């Protein structure tokens, strides 16, 4: 049929995978990416002498860390490890407590005020955009170096993440039980506890556990800016040039992160 209708245009019609707009936008993207990469490579200030012996220096660094000196573990590292774990856990608890309040404020089915919703959403975005290490710098300036600053930093940074997912879970709650409670004349707190909580509980627990896993990683770093824990031990070891101790701290961080990941996976499979 097609050949009969217009034999000339039929063989001109070529199949193309992407539309013209898609191809144009992709080309724009490739061009921009190329320009950005070339610009960065040409203007970044890297001293070439540093670059030439970088592999050798890096290998040298790890050679100095080996063998790890286990004698440091009872002296310094164990305390730092415990501090890191408590920082992560307490920070997560604090974050979840604060995030629950903000999540209730953000959830449109509980708080029926656009202004309050937007304020809550702003809090979530603002706390999340500032990384835990930058929060730690603030809290070190305010409370002095130590685990307190680290805990608060973890808590502040986690509000955004936990609050966002919690508010989504609350908004997905079925209205039936809540309407029944309201119709029975239940006070607001009872509606929250008996109407929303049972529906949100699984999401709440899995979000908390997931965030705890992330926070274990993060709290191991906070010490580098004065937030206590393993990071502080690493910083001290590196500035004292105790390479075997630094190697031990790195090893402990590796183990802790792996264990946290396994524990989280187990807990999540039991909750869900």
Partner 1 sequence: MTDFSTPPPSPSSAVRRVAFPPNWPTRVACIALALYVVYACSILEISRERLMAGFAHGARFVSRMFPPNFAPDKLELLYAGMLESLQIAIIATAVGVLLSLPLGLTAARNLSPLPLAWTARALIVLFRTFHPVIIAILFVKAVGFGALAGVLALIVASLGFLSKLVAEAVEEMSMQQVEAVRATGAPFLSLVIMGVLPQVMARFIGFSAYQLDSNLRNSALVGLVGGGGIGATLFTAFQRFDYDFVLTIVLAIIALVMVGELLSGWMRRVFQ
Could you list the residues that contact partner 1 (CB under 8 A)?
Answer: 22, 25-26, 28-29, 33, 36-37, 39-41, 43-47, 50-51, 54, 57-58, 60-61, 82-83, 86-87, 89-90, 93, 126, 129-131, 133-134, 137-138, 141-144, 146-148, 151, 194, 217-218, 220-221, 224-225, 228, 231, 234-235, 238, 250, 253-254, 257-258
Structural contact between residues 136 and 157, judged by C-beta atoms closer than 8 angstroms: no
Q: How far is the CB of 109 from partner 1 (least distance, A)?
A: 21
CB-nearer residue toward partner 1: 12 or 44: 44
Distance in Å, CB of 126 to partner 1, minimum: 7
Shortest Å distance, C-beta 110 to partner 1: 20
Q: What does the alpha-carbon distance between residue 232 and residue 153 come to, in Å, rounded to a whole number?
A: 15
Which residue lies nearer to partner 1 by CB, 81 or 111?
81
User: E strands, 92-230, where?
Assistant: none
Tokens 């070529």 found at: 14
Cβ-based nearer residue to partner 1, 65 or 106: 65
The tokens 């002498």 sit on which residue? 49
Give the side-chain half-sphere CA count within 13 A for 113. Answer: 7
| Residue in the block written with tokens 């603030």 | 138
Given the complex with partner 1, which of 60 and 172 has the nearer CB atom? 60
| Cβ proximity to partner 1, 103 vs 137, nearer residue | 137
User: Please, is 138 exposed, middle or buried when counting C-beta atoms within 10 Å of its C-beta (0-12, 13-18, 19+)?
Assistant: middle
Q: How far apart are the C-alpha atoms of 169 and 107, rounded to whole Å? A: 9
- As measured in angstroms, the least distance from the Cβ of 201 to partner 1 is 9
CB of 151 to partner 1, least distance (A): 6
* φ, ψ of residue 185 in degrees (nearest 5): 85, 25
């Amino acid at each position: 049929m097609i050949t009969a209708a217009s034999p000339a245009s039929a063989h001109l019609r070529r199949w193309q995978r992407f539309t013209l707009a898609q191809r144009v936008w992709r080309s724009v993207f490739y061009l921009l990416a190329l320009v950005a990469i070339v610009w960065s490579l040409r203007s970044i200030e890297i001293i070439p002498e540093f670059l030439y012996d970088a592999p050798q220096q890096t290998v040298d660094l790890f050679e100095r860390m080996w063998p790890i000196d286990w004698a440091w573990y009872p002296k310094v590292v164990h305390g730092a490890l415990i501090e890191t774990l408590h920082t992560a856990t307490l920070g997560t608890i604090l974050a979840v407590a604060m995030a629950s309040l903000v999540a209730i404020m953000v959830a449109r089915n509980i708080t029926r005020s656009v202004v309050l919703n937007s304020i809550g959403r702003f809090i979530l975005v603002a706390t999340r955009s500032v990384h835990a290490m930058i929060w730690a710098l603030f809290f070190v300036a305010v409370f002095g170096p130590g685990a307190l600053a680290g805990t608060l930093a973890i808590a502040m940074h986690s509000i955004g993440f936990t609050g966002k997912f919690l508010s989504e879970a609350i908004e997905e709650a079925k209205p039936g039980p809540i309407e029944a409670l309201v119709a029975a004349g239940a006070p607001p707190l009872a509606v929250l506890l008996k109407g929303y909580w049972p529906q949100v509980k699984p999401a709440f627990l899995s979000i908390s556990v997931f965030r705890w896993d992330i926070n274990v990683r993060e709290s191991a770093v906070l010490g580098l800016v004065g937030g206590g824990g393993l990071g502080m031990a690493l910083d001290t070891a590196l500035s004292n040039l105790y390479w075997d101790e630094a190697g031990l701290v790195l090893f402990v961080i590796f183990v802790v992160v792996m264990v946290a990941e396994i524990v989280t996976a187990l807990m999540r499979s039991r909750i869900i």
